């Protein structure tokens, strides 16, 4: 028997990167997967791949900042597959900017997608989970929600808010057998980081990440599988950091070459 046989999982950002591999791995573990992405083509491609491999999936092209669309998503998922067990929200944006260089319009866009959507997802998935005895909500927050980094004001603020929502949901609905955790990746080798390559990427890994390898999207997906499984039944309201040790250290203590060499 597979870990998620008979379970129904909804994953946003399912058309690429961490979202796509998460959809694939949950399906391989027996789940029926609702693949959600604003890009209809990539959402359908992920769902079609799962179905071709013998799994169950349905694609949804929606804007997760649209309240009516989010409510309809969960209603249709339950109508299609009969229940809702796991909601994993991955979709987000990560622009740069300070309090001065970020426009208010751009700030509101980031907050809408990276924080408000977390609230909307929880609001409309929880009633369905309660009806069938509980469930698991996972929110991709990232380490900047724990420690802000320079030139990332709106993203860091939105992710900090998403982490707070995660903890509130965890304590408000624990007695309904609903667990809610945040997954906090550091630098992950995904399409979101295209353009951050070559010398700049290597310098970051050498300077800030203790682990000597690039974290892959599969590392995040496998963390989600564990947190959504019964093996993690006692874990809720937590920020699970998956970053090769970056957040744990202020900096790496590499020796600089002496000035007289």
Residues with a known catalytic role: 155
CA distance 173 to 111: 24
Do the Cβ atoms of 145 and 202 come closer than 8 Å? no
CA distance 35 to 18: 12
CA distance 138 to 183: 7
CA distance 118 to 87: 10
How are beta strands 86-89 and 135-140 bridged, if at all?
A: parallel
- Strands, sheet with 239-242, edge to edge from the N-terminal-most edge strand: 56-61, 32-37, 8-12, 86-89, 135-140, 178-185, 239-242
What is the 8-class DSSP label of residue 97? B
Nearest to 57 by CA among 66, 68, 65, 49: 49
Do the Cβ atoms of 185 and 142 come closer than 8 Å? yes
How far is the CA of 192 from the CAs of 8, 16, 70, 196, 198, in angstroms?
27, 9, 23, 9, 15
């Amino acid at each position: 028997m597979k870990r998620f046989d008979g379970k129904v999982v909804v994953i946003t950002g399912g058309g690429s990167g961490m979202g796509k591999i998460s959809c694939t791995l949950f399906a391989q573990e027996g789940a029926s997967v609702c693949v959600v992405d604003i890009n209809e083509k990539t959402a359908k491609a992920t769902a079609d791949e799962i179905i071709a491999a013998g799994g169950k999936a349905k694609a949804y092209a929606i804007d997760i900042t649209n309240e009516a669309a989010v409510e309809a998503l969960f209603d249709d998922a339950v109508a299609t597959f009969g229940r809702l067990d796991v909601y994993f929200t991955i979709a987000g944006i990560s622009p740069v900017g300070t309090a001065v260089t970020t426009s208010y319009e751009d700030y509101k866009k980031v907050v809408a997608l990276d924080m408000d959507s977390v609230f909307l997802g929880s609001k409309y998935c929880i009633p369905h989970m309660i009806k069938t005895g509980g469930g698991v909500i996972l929110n991709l927050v990232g380490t900047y929600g724990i420690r802000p980094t320079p030139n990332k004001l709106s993203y860091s603020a939105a992710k900090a808010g998403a982490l707070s929502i995660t903890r509130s949901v965890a304590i408000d609905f624990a007695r309904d057998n609903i667990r809610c955790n945040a997954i906090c990746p550091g630098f992950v080798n995904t399409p979101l980081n295209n353009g951050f390559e070559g010398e700049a990427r290597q310098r970051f890994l050498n300077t800030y990440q203790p682990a000597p390898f690039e974290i892959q999207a599969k590392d995040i997906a496998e963390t989600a599988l564990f947190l959504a499984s019964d093996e993690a039944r006692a874990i809720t309201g937590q920020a699970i950091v998956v970053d090769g040790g970056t957040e744990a250290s202020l900096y790496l203590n590499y020796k600089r070459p002496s000035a007289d060499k």
